[in-house]
Amino acid sequence: MPITTAPCRPLLVTADPELLDDLLRLAAVAGVDVDVAPDPIAARQSWARAVLVLVGDDQSLAVHRVGARRRDDVVLVGRDLDDASIWERAVGVGAEHVALLPDAEPWLIARFADAVDGGGPRGLTIGVIGGRGGAGASTLAAALAVTAMRGGRRAMLIDADPYGGGADLLFGGEHAAGLRWPDVSTANGRIGGQELRDSLPCIGELAVLSCDRGDPLELPAAAMSSVLAAAARVCDPVIVDLPRRFDDATQVALAATDLALLVVPAEVRAAAAAARIAAQLTRACDDVRLVVRGPAPGGLDAHDIETALGLPLAGRLKAEPDLGAALERGEVPAGRGRGPLAEFCRNLLASLPLAERGAGGLVSSVDAVSGSPDPWLGWLPL
């Protein structure tokens, strides 16, 4: 049986048709394409570069006899729970793990997904929420994602507010091909991070999961959990535009959030309204910081709001008089990399411990958030 030469796929080495069917089914559940070889000779071309190798117990002695090169990420797969000698054969093929079906099926699904998603560190998840309606939280969330993308990051923006009109509108991408929340709302359990990212509308290295303009969808907590876990395995940062409704999905999102930003206009009434949000945020998230947005019509100082809410100040977002008009014209928040909003986002991202990951995953330099002069790339067709 010929095999393909793609370097990033898991490799299955088995001539047992029933075992092969089971492994292909598990790979499909994980959303992973695989290469298949019936014996170690046929597997030789892909053995070293496959991201994961699963050896069927029917081929374990053959793999040992041909002296296949020892490598990491080899799993021996069998069925007989009572066969103690399988552990000896695992040593012979250099396997790190023995997976016995059917008990090990959930573990193998997760192992398939981890292999293709690249493993490594989890991306930083940043939640953004407004202290009152119209505080500018959605704009800041979009600008953070755009700034991360301009700095070379594989970012993802997740719209968690079904009553917000859709994050894709901020990018002029409401007609872009790709999945929206109604398409992924039934997700339950583990989903592949790369599979999710590849299914979303992307602009450069920024993927966007948006609500649509249909009837508001109550986002299921299970789907929110699955999406955020998948996103953090392949993107850094993951920016979540949070609603001011603390339903189950919002609570799940906050539990997965490394940093929550509360956006409060520099107004007395806005600060009073934000106090209620702040109380709920601090119960759900360990790191909550305040973003005070100008202008301050009454001269209210950011430190006054910081003291009133009892939250550390992440920064002051200076007034940007032309921002509203620019957004109405369809310009992307911080898309040109200039102005107070873009500067705030660069400074904030530069201060955070973003994860490092090599090729195929997250970029490797925290300094990448310094910005790029490259022009806006436009929505990528899927």
Domain limit, last residue, from 66, 92, 117: 117
pTM more than 0.85: no
Q: What is the pLDDT of residue 158?
A: 97
- Tell me whether residue 5 is in a domain: no
- Inform me whether the pLDDT recorded for 375 exceeds 60: no
Q: Can you give the chain as a three-state secondary structure string?
A: CCCCCCCCCCEEECCCHHHHHHHHHHHHHHCCCCEEECCHHHHHHHHCCCCCEEEEHHHHHHHHHHCCCCCCCEEEEECCCCCCCHHHHHHHHCCCEEEECCCCHHHHHHHHHHHHHCCCCCCCEEEEEECCCCCCHHHHHHHHHHHHHHCCCCEEEEECCCCCCCHHHHHCCCCCCCCCHHHHCCCCCCCCHHHHHHHCCEECCEEEECCCCCCCCCCCHHHHHHHHHHHHHHCCCEEEECCCCCCHHHHHHHHCCCEEEEEEECCHHHHHHHHHHHHHHHHHCCCEEEEEECCCCCCCCHHHHHHHHCCCEEEEECCCCCHHHHHHCCCCCCCCCCHHHHHHHHHHHHCCCCCCCCCCCCCCCHHHHHCCCCCCCCEECC
pLDDT at 8: 64
In a domain, 2, yes or no: no
What's the mean pLDDT in 120-142? Answer: 92
Which of 85, 117, 149 is a domain's end point?
A: 117
Q: pLDDT tens across 220-232, in order?
A: 988 898 899 899 9
From 95, 117, 139, the end of a domain falls on 117
What pLDDT, on a 0 to 100 scale, did the predictor assign at position 205?
A: 84
Residue bearing the bigger pLDDT, 203 or 356:
203
Summarize pLDDT for 289-336 with one digit per residue, the tens: 999 999 888 888 899 999 999 999 999 999 888 888 888 887 889 988
Kindly indicate the confidence band of residue 363, based on its pLDDT and cuts at 50, 70 and 90: very low
Mean pLDDT lowest among 152-166, 257-271, 318-332, 357-371: 357-371
CATH number, domain of 66, equals: 3.40.50.2300
Domain membership flag for residue 113: yes
Do 294 and 373 sit in the same domain of this protein? Answer: yes
Question: Is residue 225 domain-shared with residue 326, that is, in the same domain?
Answer: yes
What CATH number corresponds to the domain at position 262? 3.40.50.300
- Identify the domain containing residue 45 by its residue range: 11-117
pLDDT of residue 107: 86
Which tens digits make up the pLDDT trace of 232-246? Answer: 989 999 999 999 999
Which pLDDT value is given to residue 3? 36
Instruction: Indicate the average pLDDT of the chain.
Output: 85
